[in-house]
Structure formats: C-alpha cells, structure tokens
Amino acid sequence: MAKKPCRIHYRRLSREEGAFPDETLSDRIAAALEADGGDGSKIKEHVKHRTVNVPTQPEYQRALNNFAVDDTYVFGTTCLFAPGQMQALLKLADDDAQPELEAVLEAYEIAEQAAPEGHEYLHGLSYWLAVGDHFYQIQSASLQVGAMEQYLTWLLASKANVIGAEHYVQLQALFDQDQLADDEPTFIQVGGIVPETLHADPPQPEDPANVIEVEEREKLGGGALGWAKSREILNDLYGALKAQELIDAVPDEAALEVLVSIGYRAKKRKIQKNFMKDLASGLRNLPDGEVTVRTKSGTSKGADARLFQDMGITKVDGASGLLVLEDARDQMLEVHRRFLHDGKITP
C-alpha cells in the first residue's frame, strides 16, 4: 500500500516547579479515559466526554477520537472541527456554462455545502503517542504541540481531575545533538518571510543588505520566551504604522524576511547549557522549520534543530490523506526505540 512521508516531532513532559504530579504523562492520560464523564459513563465510552471548545476560538472544538491504551503507552488521534460549518467547493464540471461578464476572467463556480447529516468537516487531524513522559506527534497545521498542551491540560485537570488544578501539561522540545555534533551553539535564529510580501516566483535576494536581521538578547535564566513571527515581530519593533510602511516599500520582485537571532555572552559552560534549555522551552511551539541553530563555525544546523524523525506511514488508500492507525502507532513506537538506542533521549 502507498505510504505518506510524515514528520514525527518529539517532545518531553516538563516537570519543572511542580508542573505535573509524580505519575507519568501516559499513566495520567490512561487514568483520564477511565474517569467518570459526568453522567455515570466513562470518558472513554463517549466522544462527547472528550470534546471541548478551543479557548480562543469557541466556534471550533477539539476531540480525542481514536485511542489505544497499553501498559507502556497511549496512542490517539485529536480532531479539530467547527460544528455546522459549511465547506467551500470548487465546481469543475460544466465549465462551458460559465456566465459571460465583461472584465471578469474565466473562473470555476464556487459554492458552499454543509457536511452530510451526522458528520462534520475536519479542519485538522493529529496522530500522537505518549510513552511515559515522552510525547510523539504527527502534526497538522492547525493541531500542533501548543494545541495538544491545551487539550491535554483540559482533559487531565478540568474534565477527569486526574491531576490537580495547579498542574498543567508542558511539552518540552529538545535540540538534536546529532545536528549540533561537538559544536557549542552561539545563537538560535527564528523567523521567516512576511506573508504579505510574498509574490509569485520571488527571486533569491542578491544583496544581503536587503535582509533585515534583528539581534535580541535576553537575560540568562529568563523564563519561557514566546516569540511573535514575521509581521508581528515588525509591529513589536517599529509599531503597526511603520511596519506597514516597510511592507509597502518592498518591490513585487522581492520578499521581506525577518530574522531574530537570540544569542548569549558567557564564559561558563554551565550558564550556556541552562540558557539553551530555557530556549528549548520557549521555542517549543514554533511551527516546523522555523528554528535553526548556528555554532561557532557559523554553520546553520538543519531546517529545524528540534528533535524529530521522518518516517513513511501507510495510507488508508492511494488517494487518501488519512493514515492507517496501527502503522502510525507502530512507526512512532519505532522512533521511540531508535531515539533510546541512539542515546538521543533517556528513559
């Protein structure tokens, strides 16, 4: 059967400052599924017990759908949907029947259609595996690690009460030591192209002076860093009006890139290690491919310095975007085995 290339992201539960009780993450998820759903039935018995509104977008809901519980792991899928929302469809048939309107280019008809009765359109589907405190996830654009932190905190603390109200789920990113080798990182780079300035076929900038690089230094030992990206970075630096002026000044044949370099100045290796740990925490939820590391040699270490593994996972059928659940679970278990064997993570 056909396979789909998937990136499996690694995170580990943070236990700093009593954020989580003594039990493991997978143990608490399994316990939550066995807890009472509020009507005498268990949470695992009805999807409605596992469904919650998205905090910042109450019209959307997240739900733990499929799941499998083992003595050592919990595997599951999390869905994002908007009840009752219609889906825009592009009608490709009967192209010749297009109405003729002056100054309007030929176009296909666009119409909206509700989901069949008893169904909802999915806006995101994420596959994940918890093994002890280790967490592996095949993300979707709308269901990344930050969304899983929110959902699992709600499920464990608010819904099932298997962790205290003062506890929460924070999934810590790790930097891939195989990418860093023996080099010590000197700074981490975050950023990307401002979407409003991205035009068709943008050429590579020939003059490095056209790239705006902003170097930001934070005090050592600081807490988690939450960085805005692209347009938001410009707004923070220059204000909304000046940021818009910069964007408007970009010619059509170019694209504006914003890079934030986060570095340190310290002679003690201990300080450097603590600093990198804080950065790994603060940058844990940035989208795939937005975090790179530079070392003393000045070499950028990969498109994403956080720990991950690319795997091929069997699709439901050749034209489907859905994965075979058993193979998704088995491939994530295999990644866990490899990471332990290669010393990238500790039990």
Query: Read out DSSP for 141-208?
Result: TTB-HHHHHHHHHIIIIIIS-SS-TT----EE--B-HHHHTTPPEEEEEEEEE-GGG--SSPPPPS-G
**Which strands sit side by side in the sheet containing 212-217, from one edge to the other?**
212-217, 257-263, 185-193, 291-295
Minimal CA–CA distance to 185: which of 259, 344, 296? 296
Q: Answer yes or no: is 346 within a domain.
A: no
Q: Are residues 26 and 128 in the same domain?
A: yes
Radius of gyration of the chain measured on its C-alpha atoms:
23
pLDDT of residue 202: 46
Q: Are residues 214 and 336 in the same domain?
A: no
Q: Answer yes or no: is 102 within a domain.
A: no
pLDDT of residue 167: 96
Q: Are residues 40 and 21 in the same domain?
A: yes
Q: Are residues 14 and 146 in the same domain?
A: yes
E strand map for the chain: 3-13, 51-54, 57-69, 73-81, 87-91, 109-113, 122-131, 134-138, 171-172, 185-193, 212-217, 257-263, 291-295, 308-314
Q: Are residues 158 and 214 in the same domain?
A: no
Q: Answer yes or no: is 92 within a domain.
A: no
Q: Answer yes or no: is 130 within a domain.
A: yes
Q: Are residues 294 and 317 in the same domain?
A: no
Q: Are residues 169 and 185 in the same domain?
A: no
Q: Are residues 202 and 280 in the same domain?
A: yes
Q: Are residues 18 and 67 in the same domain?
A: yes
Quick one: tokens of 81?
Answer: 């949907």
Q: Which sign, positive or negative, has the C-alpha torsion 116, 119, 122, 128? A: negative
pLDDT of residue 166: 95
Q: Are residues 246 and 325 in the same domain?
A: no
**Of all helices (H) and strands (E), which one includes residue 264?**
none
Q: Answer yes or no: is 91 within a domain.
A: no
pTM of the model: 0.69
- Rounded CA separation 40/271 (Å): 52
| pLDDT per residue rounded down to tens, the chain (347 residues) | 799 999 999 999 999 889 999 999 999 999 999 999 999 999 999 999 999 999 989 899 999 999 999 999 999 999 999 998 888 877 775 555 555 555 455 666 777 888 888 888 899 999 999 999 999 999 998 899 999 999 999 999 999 999 999 999 999 888 666 655 555 555 555 555 444 444 454 445 545 444 444 444 333 333 333 334 566 666 666 677 777 776 777 666 566 666 555 555 555 444 455 555 555 555 555 555 555 555 555 554 555 567 889 999 999 998 889 999 999 999 999 999 999 999 999 99
Q: Answer yes or no: is 93 within a domain.
A: no
Q: Are residues 122 and 224 in the same domain?
A: no
Q: Answer yes or no: is 109 within a domain.
A: no
Q: Are residues 122 and 193 in the same domain?
A: no
Q: Answer yes or no: is 347 within a domain.
A: no
| Counted domains in the chain | 2
The residue range of the domain holding 143 is 3-85+116-173+309-341
